[in-house]
Amino acid sequence: PMGVLSFLEEECVVPNGSEKSLLEKLCSNLAGDSSFKKSKQSQKYSTVRHFAVQHYAGEVHYNIDGWLEKNRDNVETSVLDILSQSTHPLLKVLFPPVPANNLKARRGTITNSTVSFLYKNQLQCLLDTLNTSSAHFIRCVVPNYEKLPGKIDAPLVLAQLNRSIGEKKKSRGNCDNSRECQTIRSVIPMAVVSDTSFGEGIDTQESG
């Protein structure tokens, strides 16, 4: 089934594609997906919220204004030609010279490639690498929404830790005394881990 990125790619190549048409397609085709929903507008938000996706770590709202132009990411071939002739070490790596017999093919490929197409290919390469490796996952915790140093928003951190522990409970059973929980208690301020809801009342149902 097609997802958000696939519909975005399609809208970038069809005649008269627009963000309005994209949103209509998303809401029409993904209406039955529990992870997708159309956002309700509210004056308390500074930007328009068009749709939301239920990610693992929570619900994220998106504004699609300008998505098509950003996804096309068109660059004039003349600019690429100039960059490929640069003697700067970094530019030589990013824009290697292309043989004359491949120049036309390169121009067509770069012109027609979208950001979402390249992203999906890169993501697939990453997944292929991970599937052949023994990866160790490092979870990053957001201390506060203001991105300020030395400030910990205890409820925000607690919610993230509970989600992380919830995944452990689903896959391994109760993990209150696990190495992960002991590590969390040793490095996170007591104002957070002493909260009575730490590791308790976790929703172990899949988010879809």
Whole-number pLDDT of residue 193: 52
Can you read off the two tokens belonging to residue 54?
A: 């239920």
Which of 196, 172, 194 has the alpha carbon at shortest distance from 184? 194
Q: What residues of the chain score a pLDDT lower than 70?
A: 42-47, 99-112, 165-208
Whole-number pLDDT of residue 22: 93
Whole-number pLDDT of residue 137: 75
Whole-number pLDDT of residue 177: 55
Q: What are the residue boundaries of the structural domains of the chain, listed by start? A: 4-69, 75-131, 136-200
Q: How many angstroms separate the most distant Cα atoms in the chain? A: 68
Residue with tokens 């958000």: 4
Whole-number pLDDT of residue 36: 92
For the stretch 118-128, pLDDT in tens is 888 899 999 99
| CATH (residue range 4-69) | 1.20.58.530
Whole-number pLDDT of residue 207: 36
Whole-number pLDDT of residue 80: 81
For the stretch 36-52, pLDDT in tens is 988 877 666 666 778 99
Can you read off the two tokens belonging to residue 176?
A: 């209150």
Q: If you compute the radius of gyration of the chain from its CA atoms, what whole number of angstroms results?
A: 23
Can you read off the two tokens belonging to residue 202?
A: 């976790």
Whole-number pLDDT of residue 77: 79
